[in-house]
Amino acid sequence: MRIVTTTYPESPRGTQRDEYQNAAGETVTVPDPYRWLEDPDSPETRAWVAEQNRLSETFLGGLPAREAYRERLSDLWNFAREGAPWKRGPHYFRHFNPGLLNQPVLEVASTPHGPWRTLLDPNTLSSDGTVALIDASVSRDGETLAYGVQSGGSDWVTWHVRDIGSGQDRPDRLDWSKFSGAAWLPDGSGFFYGAYEAPQDGQQLTGTNRHQRLMLHRLGTPQADDEVIIERPDEPDWGFHGRVTHDGQYLVVHVWKGTDPRNLLWVRPLHAGGPFTELVSEFEAPYTVVGSEGPTLYVQTRSQAPRGRVLTWNVETGEQREIVPEGPGALEQTVLVPDGLLTVTLTDASHRLTLYRRTGELRRALPLPSLGAVLNLNAQPDDPEVFLAFTSFLAPSTPYRVTLPDGDLETLSTPDSTFDASAFEVTQEFALSRDGTRVPMFIVARRGLERHGQHPTLLYGYGGFGISLTPAFSPSRLAWLERGGVYVQANLRGGGEYGEDWHQAGTLHQKQNVFDDFIACAEHLISAGVTGPRHLGIQGGSNGGLLVGACMTQRPDLFGAAVPQVGVLDMLRYHLFTIGWAWASDYGRSDDPQLLDTLLAYSPLHNLRPAPYPATLITTGDHDDRVVPAHSFKFGAQLQQCQTGQAPILLRIQTRAGHGAGKPTRLVIEEAADVWAFLEHHLKA
């Protein structure tokens, strides 16, 4: 089935033109004909969205594989999934989905083996499953729960408080929180959280998010009476993440600035007022307090160690001492355990788990089940019982318990998936990027795959903000594998797989390295006989949507299909909406003359020209208040106009959906079925 450009909905082109200054002092004029699509609530935009969805439904509804994927995905998702438990006071807690619930429930028990009772079921909070439990913080004594919910995929969080014994909510309600957890006072009388002023009417979706404040809420009091702990009107881009040390002595604040991994580190005695001691007063490296012993903080940092190290820092004397030096693998996480430190590091994008004494001596490596990733490492400084989840491409996330220092991983339960993993295998290969950099990728396919160059293959990537792509189990991908597809996950510069140097090599003026890495992986798959250009699709979300948009505009000949999801696609205006300004540490901004030419060189929206582009399915949510849907709307309208080939350009726009977090299982399955059916239709031909 093919769609020609004359069947696309009408997208009127306006006359808006913007002027920018480049590094040479020249004025650069850039047209923006679809500026009207930046208003998501205008009648014109809503009508346009409805027409695009009708077109997409007509096409996708005619794909024979769609229903087959929906049925199989429902089977593959329908197995019990439980997260790693965590302990507070005498109670254990876990997230659990028995199968096809739209949202996992929060459960509580007196042992890590159960029996479990439901503490909070977010499926009862809405009729369509679009209200999600996004955060759950339990007081130190295990008696009270602070829980944050989001609606319709929005990043805005509302906090509630529930009594764990009775399962009943208290009257506390805190609105307009974002990018924040809840940090309890030791006696459970209240907690710290981050909040913004209520947005003006009509600005909830697109208004910029600045001036976060660190607040203290006392239970049983109205939000209007919450104490402002930190506010910095002189630094509108600063945010504040507060935590209380386990011994209750200190309030530690990590001061962040957008997505820049570098932060400030402030501390003061918990019950003291007045100024904080600024342990780190310049944004020069990431610092994370992972625990404490009296006045000594244990700090994980990349200061003078791009792959990470651990040091002690005495709050009273200022003395610092390195205890775990930088190693060959990137240090991702450190937790304090009795007389020890437990670290998670990355080696070629898979995890290793290592136990040290608190003085820094290596105690032992803890064997992991296979090549994969550690999730939800839950530990307390005074409890030898540690919990974690482990996953790989072919094994569901499985909860484990280990008793330190000498115990081995003990399986708490075994997921009962209907997927037969024995027929498939995971291999790791390396591509050489344009500048000779070695770029790893995982290839998941049927065992003994014959490399004849015709396998329908999906190449997935991200490459940004120091985020590492590790092996992970996805029920969605299994249906693709079962029907003969190959799945490839690339580990690109811009991520954190090899530490901060790897991240920085894919930022600002070096952002093109990320796209070169992805293109090199595609060319490697073709030269190695895994697939061919007609059979190769690419997919990525958010910053990964930018990746897909940039690569399909730079090399439309290399791909048979493209799926940019909730993508950052307009690199000249991304910083003007919601939290977009925070991404400048990776991208730079168009109002900086030194970055303008770099952004224009790869901005997907601004590099569309008349050409035969691959079949493209653009997905977004009409309530996405992180990467606003205008990115996808404008890119889709321009791409439909520029398409000179016969491959379709479709937009699939979910209503009551946002950037992805908290999306109901029902919507996840529906979207995945559409994506896989679309890819199969175009890549198997």
3-state secondary structure of 68: helix
pLDDT of residue 202: 64
Is residue 435 a contact partner of residue 513, using CB atoms and an 8 Å limit? yes
Give the pLDDT score at 7. 86
Helix H segments across 483-627?
A: 500-504, 512-527, 543-554, 584-587, 593-602
Euclidean distance between CA atoms 609 and 627, whole angstroms:
24
Greater model confidence, 533 or 205: 533
Q: What value does the mean pLDDT take over residues 319-345? A: 97
> Are 183 and 229 contacting, i.e. CB atoms less than 8 angstroms apart?
no
Residue 2: pLDDT band by 50, 70, 90 thresholds? very low
- In angstroms, rounded to a whole number, what is the distance separating the alpha carbons of residues 225 and 222? 6
C-alpha span between 551 and 544 (Å, rounded): 11
Distance of alpha carbon 589 from alpha carbon 318, whole angstroms? 37
Locate the DSSP E strands across 284-361. 287-293, 296-301, 309-314, 320-324, 330-337, 340-347, 350-357
> In this model, does residue 223 exceed pLDDT 90?
yes
What pLDDT, on the 0 to 100 scale, is given for residue 624?
Answer: 78
pLDDT confidence bin for 219, thresholds 50/70/90: very high
183 exposure class (CB count in 10 Å sphere: 0-12, 13-18, 19+): buried
Q: Among 76, 125, 86, 75, which residue's Cα sits nearest to residue 105?
A: 125
- Mean pLDDT (whole number) for 143-168: 94
Q: Give the pLDDT confidence score for residue 204 in this predicted structure.
A: 61
Q: What is the pLDDT of residue 625?
A: 79
Task: Say which residue the tokens 């690569």 belong to.
Answer: 551
> What is the pLDDT, as a whole number, of residue 1?
35
**Separation CA 544–CA 465 (nearest Å):** 11
Say whether pLDDT at 527 is over 90: yes
* pLDDT tops 70 at residue 183: yes
17-27 pLDDT, tens digit per residue, is 999 999 999 99
Please say whether the beta carbons of 478 and 484 come within 8 A.
no
Gyration radius (Cα) of the chain, Å: 25
Q: Are 377 and 333 in contact (CB under 8 A)?
A: yes
4 pLDDT more than 50: no
Mean pLDDT of 201-210: 70
Q: Give the per-residue pLDDT at 365.
A: 97
**Residue 413 CB neighbour total at 10 angstroms:** 14
Q: How confident is the model at residue 515 (pLDDT cuts 50, 70, 90)?
A: very high
Judged against a pLDDT cut of 70, whether residue 597 lies above it is answered with yes
Helix (H) or strand (E) holding 398, with range, is strand 395-403
**Can you tell me the mean pLDDT for 656-676?**
80
Mean pLDDT of 491-505: 97
| Helix and strand counts by DSSP (H, E) for the chain | 10, 39
pLDDT of residue 205: 63
Instruction: Give CA angle at 168 (164, 174), nearest 5°.
Output: 95
Q: What pLDDT score does 379 carry?
A: 97
Confidence check: pLDDT of 663 > 80: no
pLDDT digits (tens, 9 = 90+) for 353-392: 999 999 999 999 999 999 999 999 999 999 999 999 999 9
* Sign of the C-alpha dihedral computed for residues 74, 76, 82 and 84 taken in this order: negative
Kindly report the pTM of this predicted structure. 0.93
Q: What whole-number distance in Å separates Cα of residue 298 and Cα of residue 288?
A: 8
Which amino acid would we find at residue 455?
Answer: H
- Whether the pLDDT of residue 570 is over 70: the answer is yes
Distance CA 144, CA 170 (A): 10
For residue 46, the tally of other CB atoms under 10 A from its CB is 13
Q: What is the strand order of the sheet 320-324 is part of? A: 287-293, 296-301, 309-314, 320-324
Which residues are known catalytic residues?
542, 624, 659
What was the pLDDT predicted at 5?
43
How many C-beta neighbours within 10 Å does residue 7 have?
Answer: 12
pLDDT score, position 656: 64
Q: Centre a 10 Å sphere on the Cβ of residue 100 and count the other Cβ atoms it contains.
A: 14
Say what the pLDDT of residue 658 is.
Answer: 54
Question: Is the model's pLDDT at 324 over the cut of 60?
Answer: yes
On average, the pLDDT of the chain sits at 94
Residue 660's pLDDT is 53
Do the bridges between strand 486-490 and strand 457-460 make them parallel or antiparallel, or are there none, so unpaired? Answer: parallel
